[in-house]
Chain A
Amino acid sequence: MRFVKRVGEGTFKQTFEVISADNLRVALKLYKAAIAGPREQREIDAMLRCSHDNIARLLSVDRYDFEGNVLVTLTEEFLPGGTLTEKGQIPRGECLRIGGCLIDAVAHIADLDLVHRDIKPDNIMFREDQRTPVLTDFGVARDLMDSSLTPTWAPRGPGTPFFSSPEQLNNQKSLIDWRSDQFALGVVLAYVTLGMHPYRPASRSDNEVVDLVATRNGPTQLFIDRCNSSSLPILVKMVAPWPIHRYRTSGQLSVAWSSQEGAE
Chain B
Amino acid sequence: MSVYHQMGHHSNNLVDLPEMSAFAGAIFSPINAGIAEVKEQIALGHETRGQFEHILDPQLYVPASERGRLKEWPYYPKDVDTADLTSSAWWTGLNEKLARACDSLRLDGLCSPIVIPKIFDDKYYARTIQVGSELAAHYRDTKTRILQTALVNLPELTDPNRPLELASLISGTKAERIYLIFVGTTEPRRELNQADELVGAMRMIHALEINSAPVLVGFCSSDVLLWKAAGASSCASGKFFNLRRFTRQRFEEPSATGGGQLPYWFEEALMAFLRQGDLMRVRRTGLFSEAGGHNAFCRQILEILDEASRTHTPPKAWLGISWRQFLYWFAEVEGRLQRGDADRKPYCVPQTQTGQSSMRRRSFWKSVSTTAHGSESG
Contacts and interface: CB of A to CB of B under 8 A. Distances in A.
Given A145-B130, A174-B169, A175-B168, A244 B122 contact: no
A173 B130 CA distance: 14
A174 B125 contact: yes
A177 interface: yes
B125 A244 contact: no
A174 B212 contact: no
B212 A248 contact: yes
A174 B169 CA distance: 7
B165 interface: yes
A244 B211 contact: yes
A249 interface: yes
B171 interface: yes
B190 to A, nearest CB: 31
Contacts of B169: 174-175
B165 A248 contact: no
B212 A249 contact: yes
Interface string B163-205: 0110111011000000000000000000000000000000000
Interface in A98-148: 144-145
Contact of B171 (A167, A173, A243): A243
Size band of the interface chain B makes with A: 10 to 19
Given A174-B122, A175-B165, A244 B207 contact: yes
B225 interface: no
A174 B126 contact: yes
A252 B122 CA distance: 26
A175 B240 CA distance: 37
Contacts of B208: 244
B118 interface: no
A222 B333 CA distance: 44
Contacts of A179: 168, 172
Contacts of B243: none
B164 A244 contact: yes
B213 interface: yes
Contacts of A246: 211
Interface in A239-255: 242-246, 248-249, 252
Contacts of A252: 212
Contacts of B168: 167, 175, 179, 242-244
A174 B126 CA distance: 6
B211 A174 contact: no
Contacts of B211: 244-246, 248
B94 to A, nearest CB: 16
Best-surrounded residue of B88, B125, B211, B213 (most CB of chain A within 10 A): B211
A29 B167 CA distance: 40
Nearest to B122: A174
Contacts of B167: 242, 244
A173 B123 CA distance: 9
A242 B164 contact: yes
A230 interface: no
A100 B208 CA distance: 26
Interface in B115-141: 122-123, 125-126, 130
A153 B365 CA distance: 65
A228 interface: no
B233 to A, nearest CB: 15
A20 interface: no
A81 to B, nearest CB: 34
A65 to B, nearest CB: 35
A112 B197 CA distance: 37
A172 interface: yes
A248 B125 contact: no
A221 B212 CA distance: 25
B212 A177 contact: no
Contacts of B130: 144-145
Nearest to A248: B212
A168 to B, nearest CB: 13
A259 to B, nearest CB: 15
A179 B213 CA distance: 15
Interface in A207-264: 242-246, 248-249, 252
Contacts of B207: 242, 244-245
Contacts of A249: 212
A244 B171 contact: yes
Contacts of B122: 172-175
A243 B129 CA distance: 15
9 contacts: A174-B126, A179-B172, A243-B168, A243-B171, A244-B168, A244-B207, A245-B207, A245-B211, A248-B213
Interface of B: 88, 122-123, 125-126, 130, 164-165, 167-169, 171-172, 207-208, 211-213
Given A175-B165, A245-B211, 11 more contacts: A167-B168, A173-B126, A174-B125, A175-B168, A179-B172, A242-B165, A242-B168, A243-B171, A244-B168, A249-B212, A252-B212
Rank and list the top 10 A-B pairs by shortest CB-CB distance, nearest first: A174-B122, A243-B168, A174-B126, A244-B167, A244-B168, A242-B164, A248-B212, A177-B172, A244-B207, A242-B168
